[in-house]
Amino acid sequence: MIETHQLGKSFHDPERGELRAVQDLNFRCAPGQIYGLLGANGAGKTTTLRMLATILAPTEGRATIAGFDAETQGEQVRRNIGFLSTATALYARLTAEEMVQYFGRLQGVDEALLRRRIDELFERLGMNEFRRRRCDALSTGMKQKVSIARTLVHDPPVMIFDEPTGGLDVMAARTILGFIRECRERGKTVVFSTHVMSEAEKLCDTIGIIHQGRLLAEGTLADLRARYALHDLEDIFMAVVQP
Amino acid sequence: MKLRDIGIIYRKEMKDTLRDRRALISMIVVPILLMPLLTIGIGVLSAEIVGRAMEEIPKVMILGGADSPNITAELRAQSDMLVVPAGSDYAQQIEDKRIRAAVEIPPDFDASLAAGTPSTVTVYDYEGDLKSGIAADRLQKFFGDLRDRTVRDHLAAQRLPDALIHPFEIREQNVVSREKVTGAMVGGIVPYFVILLCLTGAIYPAIDLTAGEKERGTMETILSSPVSRTDLVFGKFLTVLTASLATAFLAVLSMAVSFGIGKGLLMSLTDAGQGNDFTLTINPGSVAAVFAMVLPLAVLFSAALLAIALCAKSYKEAQSYLQPLTIIVVVPGIVSLLPGVDLNARLALIPILNTSLVSKEILMGTYHWHYIALIFISSCVYAAAALTVAVRLFEREDVLFRT
């Protein structure tokens, strides 16, 4: 479960002064659901998800992830999430297996269980072929699979994806989207951000449209279609951000 | 703080660092090769240069001396120099290195020698030039021998003993141990290199583990794991410290081997012809003590480099911040090598310089325990301060996510 209440983040910029990247953000995502944050570049998606992953500290409001407070219980929050973004790269000089093992150990997974999980994940994701290959020698698709295995190694109840298909080719993007769906089927709470309308349409149980740091509209695709009397999500998005 | 997490981070970072070619070069290749290159390489090269210069028969010019045929004939007969015809442009010829030196013989020199009247012989040379110096030395030796011979002849003519002009001998005798002699000669150099290599060995891992991680996009990955930022800094810091100490240790090891091999060369260069039994003696215990003194300095370097490199957003930017540090470290190192700079309570508080000075003393076998304690404590305080800064910086979002 993810819940935010009046969540906000301000940055101090030496040239532009105080910048409110996110403000008054309220949303809720239940287990077995996918919540999609839809917004243009710079809308505040990454900042929001970084706050949920406790990488950034909120300056206003609060967020609760798997029952833990993002600000005061950062470590417990991070034990219960899998965080994947275009910025979460792999250690180039580690092998695929070492990479997953490293994060499993940091998550405190017991060694015997960790070995089992790694075998299972590598089998499931078809990664055995490049198991002992260094990450800098992997293709983009292979790297994405290693990242997925990294986020799943501790079997977290909450998954956070920040533009997970950014910069990927069709094949690699499909792997990721399939994986996000699988997370929902396994009863995980999933929040993901995107600016690709088709992804949001296909995957999300609830869509939140974020613009200039504020959540301007929220609902299921059917809700939004009914509210704005438009069918196409892109048209709905434009109607929300440029009324 | 969780030791388990620090251990996991440390093991991973060490594995990563040992697979980084750049880090391996600065940590292993440079310290192992630098010392033999500096001692044996430079030793062999200078022995070769001096040897060749000594073998050359220098061209010299005799100015004047037409009325002193005995001396000029004797000079021409010398096998270690070649007399060329005189010319008024002798100074220019010396400057152009066409001749190495010239000697001016005063008028009626043969006659003055016989009569015992004082006169002056002038040797012209190119000061600072090795080959000109050798030629001038040979000329001076020739005239020095001639003067001694003349005095002896005069004494013999008057039936006086030689001892009249040599009533006593002056002898210099060293009273301190070989260890102290070595300490005084190379005591400044050894800690200087150890300190410098402690820094250079830490630079690459420090950059790679901070700015490098930001640049490659793995910083966000690691920050999304449950490890606390303090543990993350400690794991990274221990990796940088290991690299720093490994570099310094390999440098000392390589230095010991090079001194062993290069001893013969140094002997031939420094004490050739003086008959001294010159040996370099470094006590392994003293080296271990120097290492113990360098330890807090390595901690300071590792933490400071980590903190500075973290502020950079790319590898290149971090390099431009850290490279000038090698110059900053060189300055106190050089100051400690200056004659007359000795350890006192005030200097004991200046980082780097204090360690350099105390290490010099330790290698000479002198242990000023109160200074050693003061330096160790002050270095530990500086190191702790640098480590605290590094931890604080890892908690700052504007530093971690600088764009």
- Whether the CB of B122 is below 8 Å from some CB of chain A: the reply is no
Choose the most confident range, by mean pLDDT, from B125-129, B152-156, B285-289, B342-346: B125-129
CB distance A108–B226 less than 8 Å?
yes
Which residue matches tokens 């391996």? B24
How many CA atoms are closer than 13 Å to the CA of A53, on its beta-carbon side?
27
Task: Give which of B241, B176, B148, B164 is closest to B202, Cα–Cα.
Answer: B241
Is the Cβ pair B220, A102 closer than 8 Å?
A: no
The radius of gyration of chain A from alpha carbons, rounded to an integer in Å, stands at: 18
Please determine, for residue A189, whether its predicted confidence score (pLDDT) is greater than 90.
yes
Single-letter code of the amino acid located at B209: L
pLDDT in tens, A194-219: 988 898 998 999 999 999 999 999 99
Question: Mean of the pLDDT values across residues B325-353?
Answer: 84
A110-129 confidence digits (pLDDT tens): 999 999 999 999 998 889 99
Average pLDDT over residues B174-184: 75
- Strands of A2-13's sheet in order across: A17-29, A2-13, A60-65, A68-69
Q: Which of A48-52, A71-75, B13-17, B372-376 has the lowest mean pLDDT?
A: B372-376
Cα gap A125→A143, rounded to integer Å: 12
**Location of structure tokens 């230095």:** B255
The 3-state DSSP class for residue A15 equals coil
Residue B362 has pLDDT above 80, yes or no: yes
Cα–Cα distance between B267 and B289 in angstroms, integer? 27
Top-confidence residue, A71 or B269: A71
Give the dihedral of Cα atoms B141, B147, B151, B153; nearest 10 deg: 90
Any alpha helices (H) in B176-278, and if so which ranges? 178-186, 189-208, 211-216, 219-223, 229-270
pLDDT score of B389:
93
Q: Is the dihedral of CA B47, B53, B57, B63 positive or negative?
A: negative
pLDDT band of residue B166 (cuts 50, 70, 90) is: confident
In this structure, are strands A81-85 and A206-211 parallel, antiparallel, or unpaired?
Answer: unpaired
Of A85, A94, A106, the CB nearest to B227: A106
- Answer whether residue B367 shows pLDDT above 80: yes
Which string of b and e fits B345-357 if b means at least 16 CB within 10 Å?
eebbbbbbbbbbb
Confidence of residue B136 (pLDDT cuts 50, 70, 90): very high
Nearest CA in chain B to A49: B224
**Between chains, do B223 and A98 touch, taking CB under 8 Å as contact?**
no
8 Å CB contact of B227 and A91: no
Q: Is B218 on the interface with A (CB under 8 A)?
A: yes
Considering the entire predicted model, what is its pTM?
0.82
**Any CB–CB contact under 8 A between B216 and chain A?**
yes
Using CA atoms, how far apart are residues B5 and A80, in angstroms rounded to an integer? 17
- Is A57's CB within 8 Å of B397's CB? yes
How does residue A14 score in pLDDT terms, banded at 50, 70 and 90? Answer: confident
Tell me which of A21-25, A223-227, A231-235, B324-328 is least confident: B324-328
**Range B187-216 burial, b when 16+ CB lie within 10 A, else e:** bbbbbbbbbbbbbbbbbbbbbbbbbbbbbb
Hey, is the C-beta of B5 within 8 angstroms of any chain A C-beta? yes
Assess B217–A contact: CB distance below 8 Å, yes or no.
yes
Q: Measured between CA atoms, how close is B17 to chain A, in angstroms?
A: 9
Provide, as residue numbers in chain A, all residues whose Cβ is less than 8 Å from the Cβ of B399.
none
pLDDT tens, position by position, B28-57: 888 888 777 877 777 788 888 888 888 889
pLDDT value at residue B272: 46
Q: Which strands, in side-by-side order, build the sheet including B122-124?
A: B82-84, B59-64, B101-105, B122-124
Considering only the top CATH level, what class is B56-164?
alpha beta
Report B:42-71 residues touching A (Cβ under 8 A). none
- Spatial distance between the Cα atoms of A218 and A124, rounded to a whole number of angstroms: 35
- Name chain B contacts of A72, Cβ cutoff 8 Å: none
Note the Cα B328 to chain centre separation in Å.
17
Q: Share the mean pLDDT of chain B.
A: 86
**Burial of residue A104 (number of CB atoms within 10 Å: 0-12, 13-18, 19+):** buried
Q: What's the 3-state SS for B272-316? A: CCCCCCCCCCCCHHHHHHHHHHHHHHHHHHHHHHHHHHHHCCCHH
- Residue B276 vs residue B384, higher pLDDT: B384
Residue B294 pLDDT: 87
Please report, as a single letter, which amino acid is at residue B338: L
8 Å CB contact between A47 and A20: no
Interface test with A, best of B19, B208, B221, B230 (most A CBs within 10 A): B221
Taking CB atoms and an 8 Å limit, are A92 and B216 in contact across chains?
A: yes
Torsion of CA B49, B50, B52, B55, to 10 degrees: 170
Query: Which of A12, A57, A78 has the CB atom closest to B224's CB atom?
Result: A78
State which residue of chain B sits closest to A77, comparing Cα positions. B226
Q: Provide the residue type at A126 as one letter.
A: G
Partner residue facing A106 (CB), from B218, B220, B226: B226
Query: Residue A56 is which amino acid?
Result: L
Would you call B225 an interface residue with chain A, using a CB distance cutoff of 8 Å? yes
Domain residue extents for chain B? 3-41+176-400, 56-164
In this prediction, residue B215 carries a pLDDT of 92
What's the CA angle centered on B114, arms B112 and B116, to 5 degrees? 60
pLDDT for residue A164 is more than 60:
yes
| Alpha carbon of A13: minimum distance to chain B alpha carbons (Å) | 10
**How would DSSP label each residue in A26-55?**
EEEE-TT-EEEEE--TTSSHHHHHHHHTTS
Residue with tokens 């850290």: B322
- List chain B residues with CB under 8 Å of A90: 218, 221
Interchain CB distance below 8 Å, A90 and B221: yes
Determine the Cα–Cα distance for residues B373 and B378; give it in Å rounded to an integer: 8
- Considering only CB atoms, A103 lies closest to which of B16, B19, B225, namely B225
Say which residue, B178 or B353, is predicted with more confidence. B353
Instruction: Say if residues B183 and B320 touch (Cβ distance below 8 Å).
Output: no
Provide the pLDDT for residue B273. 41
Model pLDDT, residue B115 = 84
Residues of A with a Cβ under 8 Å from any B Cβ are 11-12, 50, 53, 55-57, 75-76, 78-79, 81, 83, 85, 87-94, 98, 102-103, 105-108, 150
- What are A72-99's pLDDT values in tens digits? 999 999 999 999 987 789 999 999 999 9
Q: Which residues of A touch B20 (CB under 8 A)?
A: 93
Report the SS3 class of residue B317.
helix
The answer to whether the Cβ–Cβ distance between A89 and B228 falls below 8 Å is no
Give the model's pLDDT for residue B274.
46
Chain B interface, mutation test: which of A103, A107, A146, A153, most B Cβ atoms within 10 Å? Answer: A103
Q: Which of the 8 DSSP states describes residue B34?
A: H
